[in-house]
Structure 1
Amino acid sequence: MAFAHDFPFDPAYGHDVERLLEVGAPAGPPDFDEFWRGLAGAAAQVDVAAELGPVEGEVGGVRIHSVGFTSLGGVRIGGWLTLPADGVVEHGLVVGHGYGGRGEPDIRLPLDRVAAIFPCLRGMWRRGRVPGIPEVAAEHVLHGIESRETYVHGGCAADVWCAATALTTLIPETAGSLGYLGSSFGGGIGALALPWDRRFAAAHLDVPSFGNHPLRVTLPCVGSGDAVTARHRRHPEVLDVLAYFDAATAASRITMPVQVGAALFDPAVPPPGQFAVYNALGGDKRLHVLPAGHFPHKGEAEAGEALFAAQREFFASVMGE
Structure 2
Amino acid sequence: MPLTDLTLADCLALRPDLDEPADLDAFWQRTLATAPAHPTPPRFTPVDTGLTQVTTYDAVVPGFAGEPVRGWLHLPAGAREPLGCVVEFLGYGRGRGLPHEQLLWAAAGYAHFLMDTRGQGWSTAAGDTPDTAPLSGSVPGFLTRGVESPQDHYYRRVFTDAVRCVEAIRAHPAVDPAKVVVTGVSQGGGIALATAALVPGLAGVMPDVPFLCDIRRAVRIAGRPPYTEAADYLRLHRDRAATVLDTLSYVDAALLASRATAPALFSIAMMDEICPPSTCFAAYHRYGGPKDLRVYEFNGHEGGGAHHRRAQLTWVRELLSAPGPATAGAPDAPYDAQLA
TM-score, with normalisation over the residues of structure 2?
0.82
Shift of 1:46: 4.0
Instruction: Summarize deviations over 1:10-48 as a string: whole Å, max 9, x none.
Output: 6x3342211112332515111111212222333456425
Are 2:42 and 1:50 aligned?
A: yes
Shift of 1:226: 0.7
What is the count of residue pairs matched by the alignment? Answer: 305
Instruction: Summarize deviations over 1:133-155 as a string: whole Å, max 9, x none.
Output: 66x99422211111111101011
Are 2:241 and 1:236 aligned?
A: yes
Counterpart of 1:247 in structure 2 is 253
Instruction: Summarize deviations over 1:70-96 as a string: whole Å, max 9, x none.
Output: 112121111211011122442122110
2:223 maps to a residue whose letter is C
In 2: Cα distance, 1:187 partner to 1:115 partner: 19
CA contact (8 A) 1:25 1:280 kept: no
Q: Secondary structure at the match of 1:106?
A: coil
Runs of 4+ residues deviating >6 angstroms: none
Instruction: Summarize deviations over 1:52-79 as a string: whole Å, max 9, x none.
Output: 1122315472222211111121211112
What is the root-mean-square deviation in Å for CA atoms of aligned residues?
2.4
Counterpart of 2:300 in structure 1 is 293
Are 2:189 and 1:187 aligned?
A: yes
In 1: Cα distance, 2:40 partner to 2:286 partner: 32
In 2: Cα distance, 1:111 partner to 1:236 partner: 47
Shift of 1:216: 1.0
In 2: Cα distance, 1:208 partner to 1:231 partner: 22
Instruction: Summarize deviations over 1:223-270 as a string: whole Å, max 9, x none.
Output: 211101222343212111111111111111111101111111112111
In 1: Cα distance, 2:10 partner to 2:107 partner: 33
1:94 maps to a residue whose letter is V
2:254 maps to a residue whose letter is A
In 2: Cα distance, 1:267 partner to 1:84 partner: 37
Counterpart of 1:7 in structure 2 is none
Q: Which runs of 5+ in 2 are unaligned?
A: 123-127, 323-340
Percent of aligned pairs sharing the same letter: 24
Are 2:286 and 1:317 aligned?
A: no
In 1: Cα distance, 2:314 partner to 2:106 partner: 8
Counterpart of 1:283 in structure 2 is 289
Q: Secondary structure at the match of 2:158?
A: helix
1:83 maps to a residue whose letter is L
Moved more, 34-43 or 142-151: 34-43
Q: Secondary structure at the match of 1:109?
A: helix
In 1: Cα distance, 2:163 partner to 2:104 partner: 23
1:194 maps to a residue whose letter is A
CA contact (8 A) 1:48 1:71 kept: no
Shift of 1:272: 1.3
Are 2:45 and 1:35 aligned?
A: no
Are 2:83 and 1:90 aligned?
A: yes
Q: Which runs of 5+ in 1 are unaligned?
A: 4-9
Moved more, 170-179 or 155-164: 170-179
Larger radius of gyration: 2
